[in-house]
Each structure stands twice: as structure tokens, then as C-alpha cells.
Amino acid sequence: MKKLVLLTLALVLAASTLAAADEVKIIGNRSQGNYCPWWGAGHAAMRYMALWEKSEIGLTAGGYINKVEWENNTANNATFYLVRAYFGHSTKTELDLTFANNYYDTPVQVLNAATKTVSGAANTWWDMGIDANKFEYNNTNNLVFEIRWRGTSPNAPCWSGVGGMKRMWSFDDAATVAAYRFGQVQYLRITVAPGSGVAPTSLGRVKSIFR
């Protein structure tokens, strides 16, 4: 009887482990190349924000956004300086020109890098290298992503798409209001790990119950 119970619980554990696997999602649509936010030529800084609605993200559950990847529109090799990135929840369906108004809660910084290089062949993905287990997306609200950089760099166009007013920027990393906002949506690939609501389990813990 004990072996049967252990086997049953082990199968349940295996199923829950599979259910808690990372989700990889491509968000936005891919229809046009765009310099932003990696528009370095002729500009010394940028504050950029993108928005996606929950339905556009399409996750089965919330969790930690641990990887952000961009797809190169052309072959790129451009280094940007003082690169910072933030995630936050939002109730907006289109971006307000005032950056702070788009956050439903306090933004979470997921990157603070002295340099970040956008590199790779055209139509290949590059990993931005954000910090893991920093921002937990609740899969209830919409999502905003902000990037700031400062320095002299070339351009590095990546793929984006058309949509509502879901991309905006200013050529000033300290700007509070965007100078430009367009009917575009950012095209990204994200990896989402199980959130804090998923309890850690192991077969050893199951066995310990019956000792």
C-alpha cells in the first residue's frame, strides 16, 4: 500500500514539475525593422517604453521574466552604454506620453549594465542578459518594459510591428515625457519561469511524509 501511495504521489509530482516548466513566448508582431530603442547614430541618450496587453502575451500562468531576446533586423554590432531596463505592470491599453503614468505599480529594475552590445546576423535573436528572478509578471495586468541608455553608439535596428500606441521614446534618458509615440508594438521573445506561487517539491519530500 505504501509503495502504491508513493508511486501515485511521484506521478503527481512529475506532472506538476512539467506544468511548472519555463514558458517561452514571442510577443508583438514582426512586420518592420526599427531603430528604437537602439538608435545611437546622431543621438547621445534614450528613454524608451513598450507596452503589451495581457492577451498579446498569452501566458498560461504568471512568473519571473528571466530572459528578453531581440531579433536583429539587419546584421548588428553596436555597443550601448549605461544601459538600464525596467519591467512593470500597467492598466493602460495605449501608452500615456508621461512615462510614470503607464506604471500600475513600482517599476522593477532588471538590468544595470555599463555596456551592452547588440550583435548578430540579420534575423537572429540576441539575449539582452537581464537579471533573473527580479520581476514577477502577474498575468493579470498588461506589461510595460522600459530601456534607458546614454552614450555615443551606432544604430542597431531590430524587428517590430504595427499596433496601437504601444511604443514611445525620447532622446534623453532622464526625460519624463516622451517626444515620440507611434502605432507600433515591440517584437520580443521572453522566457518566463514559474513564479513564487509555485511551491518547491521533490520526491524526497514525498518520501519523508511516510517515514
Tell me how far CA of residue 9 lies from CA of 19, 171, 201, in angstroms: 15, 56, 11
CATH number at residue 60: 2.60.120
Residue with cell 521574466: 65
Q: Is residue 6 part of a domain?
A: no
Residue 91 sits at the vertex; the CA angle it makes with 23 and 58, to the nearest 5 degrees, is: 25
Q: What is the pLDDT of residue 19?
A: 52
pTM to 2 decimals?
0.84
Q: Is residue 106 part of a domain?
A: yes
- What's the gap between Cα 211 and its chain centre? 44
Residue 20, pLDDT > 90, answer: no
Mark 2-31 as b/e (b = at least 16 C-beta within 10 Å): eeeeeeebeeeeeeeeeebeebebebbbee
Q: Is residue 43 part of a domain?
A: yes
* pLDDT, tens digit, 9 for 90 and up, residues 129-156: 999 999 999 999 999 999 999 998 999 9
Q: Give me the mean pLDDT over the 42-70 stretch.
A: 96
* pLDDT, tens digit, 9 for 90 and up, residues 109-135: 999 999 999 999 999 999 999 999 999
Q: Is residue 206 part of a domain?
A: no
- Using DSSP's 3-state secondary structure scheme, residue 123 falls into coil
Q: Is residue 147 part of a domain?
A: yes
Domain hosting residue 39, numbered range: 21-196
